[in-house]
Amino acid sequence: MSIKSPVRLLPAFKDYIWGGRKLVQDYNKVCSLDKVAESWELSAHKDGSSIINGGDFDKMLFSDYINKYGNDVLGERAKKFDFFPILIKFIDAKDNLSVQVHPNDEYAKEKEGEYGKTEMWYVLDAEPGAYLYFGFNSKISKEEFLQRIKDNTITEVLNKVDVKKGDVFFIESGTVHAIGAGMVICEIQQNSNTTYRVYDYDRRDKDGNPRPLHIEKASEVAVLAPPKISNSFSDADTLAECKYFNVKKYVIDTSKTFTCTDECFTSVIVTDGSGTLYMNEESFTLKKGDSLFIPAQNSSFSVEGNLEILLTTV
């Protein structure tokens, strides 16, 4: 094994009140928490780092690995970012998530000391009747926005979208949104954990207290208009393409070879099925829910089996 070898990652888990157990039951996660709302599959964030599983760096925090090897594994394109650029997670929404919004980079760096949060959702599973909120159904004023939060009627002016397995949503920073109950999502996002809640169905935390809202900050960053929707990409495999990340989906039923370069690292997330990844005379078994980080290098790797994978670069 060398510094250029792929590393297998174990996630950091979050037990938010709206989570379920599908990540354990259906995605091979090993976690004793009663509620497994999120698994942070590729994370160097201070609020939850992934952990390397196996090889020379076994049990090392992924954040420590990045801090130690930096440019040797990240590639040239990552140099434009102040720190590790992305965070990838699985989300199990047994219950509705709060209505929320994320700031852009300029606002987040000034107020929170980290990046803003543009993200994309790939729907892995959705129960009948599942839906989400994605922006507004028409343009509204800041005054109406604040009044509807106060009156608990904010969802009446949100853009409600029915959801099915395989759907993709690109959520720019400033877009008011909410994941609804009954779905599992793979989220690729900027490396940020800044969320401003605007409405939370009057839910209580485990101590019986209302979860905090962030209405003033939300009102300063929210785009009070219908979302911009664009799905025109250079090839059919692309799910998202922006200045922060690029995501491609591949369904493999025999084998496929991929090229990587010293320009950027590659994240491999297995969303269904099983198989094997071969690279530099090493092999890595793959199953649903797995996450591998491939350091930047001029090389190639192949994937064999019957599986679906997401490849993310910056």
Q: Is 90 exceeded by the pLDDT of residue 278?
A: yes
Query: Average of pLDDT values for 295-300?
Result: 98
| Res 2: pLDDT | 84
Please give the domain boundaries of the chain with CATH numbers for all domains: 7-221 (2.60.120.10), 238-313 (2.60.120.10)
**Is residue 21 annotated as part of the catalytic site, yes or no?**
no
pTM: 0.96
**Tens of pLDDT along 108-123?**
999 999 999 999 999 9
| Res 204: pLDDT | 83
Distance CA 294, CA 225 (A): 39
Query: Average of pLDDT values for 289-301?
Result: 98
Query: Average of pLDDT values for 151-156?
Result: 96
Query: Average of pLDDT values for 76-104?
Result: 95
Q: Is 80 exceeded by the pLDDT of residue 1?
A: no
Q: Is 80 exceeded by the pLDDT of residue 232?
A: no
Distance CA 127, CA 135 (A): 22
* Active-site position among 8, 21, 77, 197: 197
**Tens of pLDDT along 47-79?**
999 999 999 999 999 999 999 999 899 999 998
